């Protein structure tokens, strides 16, 4: 024998048609994650490649991986070829928004080497059917014209059988790709949902993908939970990530790839346990982490997704919610959906014990067409008892473990105006017609600025500091004296503050916070009857509860009440007035926009909170 050749091959057609990816003529929905050259991580994955790329990926309902910043080795492609895991191979044209400050000659060298390197990788990997796409670059922004033009033309000419993705900020001619990397670092958790339609507008006739979100940038554990607890943080992050993923699913994004797979696998965590002798590779129910449980459901090809962002409802309220029945598979499906209301969080565990003892359950049967989305209304009811609950759509009828779409909800008793508030007169500074209408509708007396103030009968409310008149500002000394006599001055959320004659503090409306927490050991009357859980995500996207932070010299001597993200970010506090010994209550909560029961942003908790504020000093 003089020679021997082993030649592997597979046949499939990948294309873009009618704004969709297609595999062998059928719509293909890419649901996966990112690999960041794990094959170079020593022996972490060595010998466990199948478990990593196939077994655990399928447990998390993932069918594809983007090999972020470098194409994969042949072994990993072989596994994908044999078992159907698809790979979006990225060339190492890596910028991460950096400006390398190349000269024209250096740009020419860079471009020439990019083409040479791309040709080498394509020659090496062309015969792997698992490689379905070439990813041209990552977050360059400064080289759009060349990447979208000569670079894409070169790759398309060398390999016309695969689509391409990502150039600069514009995407390729076939694809628009968004990166929402900070979706769990941003402090207003509903922000991503508001971006999705913009992506489709930018994409036009191209496919639309999000190949990075859920990136970890080191937010404090306290940001989402109010406590420094790693597992509690992971559960909150999984919940937010699942809701964002389901929003993209409902919008029919062609590709959804949360980042970063290595943090959600038993294979990776087991290696860490071996290396350190500490920790565990399993969180519960054989999932490595809460996120891995969340992806099992939110990325599932067949999913019943609750289009439910608002958390606050009145006790006993009947609510109609859209349930989106998503079938990304090529097969019709008959499914059963139980809509279950529980006290406990299921934690994305399909076998959660709370499902055995629900407060209420509503059941439905549906027939889903292949490759379809259908929206159906479902009606459910809040308990008569106040409290925090979980509403979960549990889907069964397809192979594998049940699939969950879970949301937290609150039952809140209607806010009632305390009789004591009607005994006082409220002096409005920076008021508006809407403010006066609110006080009038509640039967509360209002006086104009400039009237003589009595600490026993008046409360001063600075409704909107941006509307303060010069005449009102000239009363700073009078207000400081009023505060020194024990008079109550309340400053509601303001976009800015330039009234140092009253209080030396800085305010802003940025950043926005969807979760606010009381300082430990605080027993302020402001919090009377307020469940701390009700300071998490107020109704209406993006769920804003708090604005900005209180800063400045006065904060150092403040009686602090509420914080956001971490305890040094103060949202509400009693601050010393600029003169005298009185204090002024600043509350940077998004109250004013939550008070109209006819508005979709109305939140009964905000109204109750405002009544507590108005009752100060009684």
pLDDT value, residue 55: 97
Mean pLDDT confidence for 375-399 = 97
Q: How sure is the predictor about 618, in pLDDT bands with cuts at 50, 70 and 90?
A: low
Classify domain 303-412 at the CATH superfamily level. Answer: Immunoglobulins (2.60.40.10)
Domains of the chain, residue spans: 14-299, 303-412, 419-614
Distance CA 110, CA 255 (A): 30
- Residues 113-129: pLDDT tens digits? 999 999 999 999 999 99
Q: Give the DSSP per-residue string, 471-528.
A: HHHTTHHHHHHHHHTT-EEEEE--S----TTT---B--S-SEESB-EEPTT---GGGT
> Residue 313's Cα: distance from chain center in Å?
21
Distance CA 584, CA 578 (A): 10
Q: Do 579 and 480 form a contact (C-beta atoms < 8 A)?
A: yes
pLDDT value, residue 553: 86
- The SS3 assignment for 98 reads coil
Give me the residues paired with residue 180 across strands: 213
Distance CA 268, CA 248 (A): 27
Closest alpha carbon to 617 in 518, 482, 469: 482
- Residues 439-466: pLDDT tens digits? 999 999 999 888 789 999 999 999 999 9
Closest alpha carbon to 548 in 503, 595, 492: 492
Distance CA 112, CA 577 (A): 65
pLDDT value, residue 10: 85
pLDDT value, residue 279: 86
pLDDT above 80 for 483 = yes
pLDDT, the chain, mean: 95
- What are 528's two structure tokens? 């009377």
- Residues 8-63: pLDDT tens digits? 888 899 999 999 999 999 999 999 999 999 999 988 899 999 999 999 999 999 99
Mark 164-178 as b/e (b = at least 16 C-beta within 10 Å). bbbbbbbbbbbbbbb
Mean pLDDT confidence for 598-610 = 92
Distance CA 82, CA 378 (A): 42
DSSP state of 72: P
- Residues 292-329: pLDDT tens digits? 999 999 999 999 999 999 999 999 999 999 999 999 99
Cis ω for the linkage preceding 511 (within 30 of 0): yes
The fraction of the chain above a pLDDT of 70, given in percent, is 100
User: Which H, E and C letters describe 292-329, residue by residue?
Assistant: HHHHHHHCCCEEEEEECCCCEEECCCEEEEEEEEEECC
- What are 573's two structure tokens? 């506090």
> Residue 420's Cα: distance from chain center in Å?
40
Distance CA 84, CA 86 (A): 6
Distance CA 208, CA 18 (A): 12
Segment among 189-193, 319-323, 407-411, 517-521 with least mean pLDDT: 517-521
Mark 369-395 as b/e (b = at least 16 C-beta within 10 Å). eebebeeeebebebeeeebbbbbbbbb
Distance CA 189, CA 532 (A): 18
Model-level pTM? 0.96
- What are 298's two structure tokens? 């939110």
- The SS3 assignment for 100 reads coil
- The SS3 assignment for 562 reads strand
- What are 247's two structure tokens? 């929003």
Which residues 6+ apart lie within 8 Å of 177 measured at CB? 165, 166, 171, 208, 209, 210, 211, 255
Distance CA 578, CA 500 (A): 7
Which residues 6+ apart lie within 8 Å of 238 measured at CB? 289, 290, 291, 293, 294, 348
Distance CA 414, CA 227 (A): 29
Give me the residues paired with residue 513 across strands: 546
How many Cβ atoms sit within 10 Å of the Cβ of residue 593?
A: 16
- The percent of the chain in helix, strand and coil, each rounded to the nearest 5, is 30, 30, 45
Q: Cα angle at 257 between 96 and 366, to 5 degrees?
A: 160
pLDDT above 60 for 617 = no
Which residues 6+ apart lie within 8 Å of 469 measured at CB? none
Distance CA 140, CA 147 (A): 9
- Residues 124-182: pLDDT tens digits? 999 999 999 999 999 998 899 999 999 999 999 999 999 999 998 889 999 999 999 99
Alpha helices (H) in 252-385, listed in sequence order: 266-276, 290-298
Would you state the torsion angle of the CA atoms of residues 53, 59, 63, 65, taken in this order, to the nearest 10 degrees? -50
Which CATH class, in words, describes the domain spanning 419-614? alpha beta
- The SS3 assignment for 377 reads strand
pLDDT value, residue 36: 95
How many Cβ atoms sit within 10 Å of the Cβ of residue 516?
A: 25
Cis ω for the linkage preceding 92 (within 30 of 0): no
Strand order in the sheet with 302-307: 302-307, 318-327, 372-381
How many residues make up the chain in this entry?
A: 618
Distance CA 86, CA 82 (A): 10
Give me the residues paired with residue 320 across strands: 379
Best CATH choice for the domain 14-299 from the list 3.20.20.80, 1.20.950.20, 3.40.1390.30, 3.40.50.2000:
3.20.20.80
Phi-psi label, residue 521: left if phi above 0, alpha if psi -120 to 50, beta otherwise: left
Q: Do 582 and 292 form a contact (C-beta atoms < 8 A)?
A: no
User: Which H, E and C letters describe 203-267, residue by residue?
Assistant: HCCCEEEEEEECCCCCCCCHHHHCCCCHHHHHHHHHHHHHHHHHHHHHHCCCEECCCCHHHHCHH
């Amino acid at each position: 024998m003089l020679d021997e050749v082993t030649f592997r091959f597979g046949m499939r057609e990948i294309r873009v048609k009618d704004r969709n990816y297609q595999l062998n003529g059928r719509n293909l929905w890419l649901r996966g994650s990112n690999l960041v050259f794990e094959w170079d991580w020593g022996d972490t994955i060595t010998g466990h490649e199948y478990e990593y790329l196939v077994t655990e990926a399928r447990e998390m309902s993932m069918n594809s991986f983007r090999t972020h910043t470098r194409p994969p080795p042949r072994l990993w492609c072989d596994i994908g070829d044999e078992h159907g895991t698809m790979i979006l191979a990225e060339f190492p044209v890596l910028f991460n928004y950096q400006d390398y400050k190349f000269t024209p000659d250096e740009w020419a060298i860079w471009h020439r080497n990019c083409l040479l390197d791309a040709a080498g990788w394509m020659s090496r990997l062309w015969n792997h059917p698992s490689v379905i796409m070439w990813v041209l670059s990552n977050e360059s922004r400064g080289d759009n014209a060349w990447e979208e033009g000569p670079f894409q033309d070169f790759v398309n000419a060398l390999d016309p059988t695969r689509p391409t993705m990502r150039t600069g900020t514009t995407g390729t001619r076939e694809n628009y790709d968004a990166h929402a990397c900070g979706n769990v670092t941003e402090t207003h958790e509903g922000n991503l949902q508001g971006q999705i339609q913009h992506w489709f507008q930018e994409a036009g006739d191209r496919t639309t993908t999000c190949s990075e979100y859920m990136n970890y940038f080191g937010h404090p554990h306290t940001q989402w939970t109010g406590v420094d607890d790693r597992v509690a943080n992971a559960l909150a992050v999984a919940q937010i990530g699942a809701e964002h993923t389901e929003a993209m699913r409902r919008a029919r994004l062609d590709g959804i790839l949360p980042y970063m797979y290595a943090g959600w696998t038993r294979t990776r965590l087991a290696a860490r346990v071996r290396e350190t002798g500490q920790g565990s590779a399993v969180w519960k129910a054989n999932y490595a982490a809460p996120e891995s449980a969340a992806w099992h459901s939110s990325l599932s090809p067949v999913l019943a997704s609750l289009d439910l962002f608002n958390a606050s409802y009145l006790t006993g309220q009947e609510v109609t919610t859209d349930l989106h029945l998503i079938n990304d598979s090529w097969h019709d499906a008959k499914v059963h959906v139980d809509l279950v209301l529980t006290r406990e969080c299921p934690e994305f565990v399909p076998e959660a014990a709370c499902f055995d003892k629900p407060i209420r359950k509503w059941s439905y049967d549906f027939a889903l067409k292949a490759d379809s989305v259908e929206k159906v209304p479902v009606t459910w009811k809040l308990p008569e008892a106040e409290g925090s609950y979980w509403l979960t759509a549990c889907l069964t009828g397809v192979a594998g473990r049940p699939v969950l779409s879970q949301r937290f909800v609150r039952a809140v008793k209607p806010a009632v105006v305390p009789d004591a508030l009607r005994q006082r007169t409220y002096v409005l500074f920076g008021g508006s017609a809407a403010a006066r209408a609110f006080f009038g509708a509640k039967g509360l007396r209002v006086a104009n600025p400039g009237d003589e103030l009595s600490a026993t009968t008046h409360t001063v409310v600075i409704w909107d500091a941006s509307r303060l008149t010069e005449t009102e500002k000239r009363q700073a000394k009078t207000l400081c004296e009023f505060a020194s006599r024990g008079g109550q001055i309340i400053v509601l959320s303001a976009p800015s503050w330039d009234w140092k004659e009253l209080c030396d503090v800085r305010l802003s409306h940025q950043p926005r916070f969807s979760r606010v927490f009381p300082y430990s050991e605080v027993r302020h009357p402001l919090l009377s009857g307020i469940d701390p859980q009700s300071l998490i995500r107020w109704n209406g996207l993006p769920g804003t509860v708090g604005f900005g932070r209180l800063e400045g010299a006065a904060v150092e001597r403040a009686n602090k009440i509420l914080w956001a993200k971490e305890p040094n970010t103060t949202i509400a506090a009693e601050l010393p007035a600029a003169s005298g010994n009185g204090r002024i209550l600043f509350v940077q909560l998004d109250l004013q926009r939550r008070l109209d029961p006819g508005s979709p942003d109305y939140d009964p908790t905000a109204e109750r909170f405002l009544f507590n504020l108005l009752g100060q000093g009684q």
